[in-house]
Amino acid sequence: MLYQAGKRDILSVDFWQQGKWVEMRRSFGAVYDRPNPPLGAISLRFKVQDNARIKWPKAVIPRNWKAGAAYSASQKKHMGFSLKLQYCLVSVMVLLPAVCYSQDYFVKSRATYYGSPDCLGTPSGACGFGEYGRSVNDANVAGVSRLYKNGTGCGACYQVRCTNPQICADTGVNIVVTDYGEGDNTDFILSPRAYARMARPDTAAHLFAYGVVDIEYQRIPCQYSGYKTQVKVHEHSKYPNYLAIVVLYQAGKSEILSVDIWQEDCKEWIGMRRAYGAVFDMTNPPSGDISLRFQVRGSAGLTWVQAPNVIPKYWKAGVAYETDIQLY
């Protein structure tokens, strides 16, 4: 959105496809994207926070839209809603035809590395993964800033490659996000092992000498051969009065937006709190086996994935329980 006047916040953007509204992904900042947009004119709606009220003004992008073009919202009615200037939705900009959920393109940025006595990750990362965050993916892990997304970006996988052809390997390294970190205009702070694997053979010392390097990166599916998705009861949990969980070995390119827990006595789903990073918690969880459902944003849009009785009645802090769910 450009020229967004007033004091209202845009919370989300949907487009109309096959008889229903489909949520777009907030790629970064104020940019929303989506693969395979509908043919023809594209109808959009915006979830707008107006003081204490939520409103849904709408707009339209023409059929033959072009990358880089900005389209002004007229004051005519679109789908029964008058787009008046009081909603301050003045123009919609189509950024790139290649912008899509899967991010199948490389983005230019910078990367550095953090100190580690054993070249592995850190068990105290902001995602809350613990020891898993230290060693997962053969310790090819990273802290991120913009891609952290208030914890939603935890567990995401990226291909990262430096761009100096004399010392940088063509394929770079595939990393898992396990921490938050800000550097010198960097998007990635890599573990020493991951940083070294961007280098050509026998050139890692030269790469470390730079300290900060230009890179390009793209989102890729996470793959964990031999592992199912696990729900770990976080070490800070206190049976039976306080339950905190974190999802491990999350394959694919999806993001977990929220987690609900089934309250059998009330016959309803109750939302857990995102405590920090990828950790969700709840005081006074239900007794008995615990069923969870996950709100997942992926290539199919927003979906709910249920994990019935995934945590046993007598759960223990620090124990990870395997599931059969697929969070793609």
Q: Do 208 and 180 share a structural domain?
A: yes
Compute the distance between CA of residue 141 and CA of residue 158 in angstroms, rounded to an integer: 10
| Integer CA distances (angstroms), 295 to 254, 256, 271, in order | 10, 6, 10
What pLDDT was estimated at residue 39?
73
What pLDDT was estimated at residue 63?
77
Residue 98 lies in a domain: no
Q: Do 153 and 72 share a structural domain?
A: no
Q: Do 274 and 174 share a structural domain?
A: no
Last residue of a domain, one of 34, 69, 93: 93
**β-pair type (188-190, 107-113):** parallel
Residue 2 lies in a domain: no
Q: Do 251 and 215 share a structural domain?
A: no
What pLDDT was estimated at residue 179?
97
Q: Do 139 and 38 share a structural domain?
A: no
Q: Do 24 and 89 share a structural domain?
A: yes
Q: Do 188 and 251 share a structural domain?
A: no
Residue with tokens 């390294």: 173
What pLDDT was estimated at residue 83?
38
| Integer CA distances (angstroms), 292 to 225, 263, 268, 295, in order | 24, 10, 11, 10
Q: Do 204 and 122 share a structural domain?
A: yes
The mean pLDDT value for 244-261 works out to 96
Structure tokens at 130: 């613990």
Compute the distance between CA of residue 312 and CA of residue 238 in angstroms, rounded to an integer: 15
Residue 100 lies in a domain: no
Greater pLDDT, 76 or 33: 33
- pLDDT > 90 fraction of the chain, expressed in percent and rounded: 61
Compute the distance between CA of residue 203 and CA of residue 205 in angstroms, rounded to an integer: 5
Question: pTM of the predicted model, to two decimals?
Answer: 0.70
* Residue whose C-alpha is closest to residue 142's, from 194, 204, 183, 196: 194
What pLDDT was estimated at residue 104?
65
Q: Which of 22-26, 69-73, 126-130 is the most confident on average?
A: 126-130
CATH number at residue 304: 2.60.40.760
Residue 36 lies in a domain: yes
Residue 4 lies in a domain: no
What pLDDT was estimated at residue 5?
60
Last residue of a domain, one of 196, 220, 244: 220
What pLDDT was estimated at residue 98?
34
* Residue whose C-alpha is closest to residue 153's, from 187, 122, 130: 187
What pLDDT was estimated at residue 229?
96
Last residue of a domain, one of 220, 243, 264: 220
48 pLDDT more than 90: no
Q: Do 38 and 117 share a structural domain?
A: no
What 3-state DSSP class applies to 233? strand
Residue 327 lies in a domain: no
Greater pLDDT, 293 or 9: 293
Q: Do 149 and 59 share a structural domain?
A: no
What pLDDT was estimated at residue 327?
78
Residue 102 lies in a domain: no
Residue 288 lies in a domain: yes
Q: Which DSSP string corresponds to 57-117?
A: -EEEE-TT--TT-EEE--SSEETTEE--GGG---EEE---TT--TT--S-EEEEEEE---T
Q: Do 174 and 246 share a structural domain?
A: no
Greater pLDDT, 12 or 234: 234
Task: Write out the H or E segment, with its range, that includes residue 204.
Answer: helix 204-210
Backbone dihedral angles phi then psi of residue 163, each to the nearest 5 degrees: -115, 5
The mean pLDDT value for 79-106 works out to 43
Counting the structural domains of the chain, the total is 3
With cut-offs at 50, 70 and 90, classify the pLDDT of residue 286: very high
Residue with tokens 């070995």: 249
Per-residue pLDDT of 129-155, as tens digits, reads 999 999 999 999 999 999 999 999 999
What pLDDT was estimated at residue 199?
98
Q: What is the mean pLDDT of the chain?
A: 86
The mean pLDDT value for 251-258 works out to 94
- Domain span at residue 282 reads 230-322
Q: Which DSSP string corresponds to 33-44?
A: E-SSPPSSSEEE
Q: Do 117 and 86 share a structural domain?
A: no
What pLDDT was estimated at residue 56?
77
Give the bridge partners for 71, in sequence order. Answer: 92
Per-residue pLDDT of 209-233, as tens digits, reads 999 999 999 999 999 999 999 999 9
Per-residue pLDDT of 166-180, as tens digits, reads 999 999 999 999 999
Backbone dihedral angles phi then psi of residue 308, each to the nearest 5 degrees: -65, 135
Greater pLDDT, 19 or 139: 139
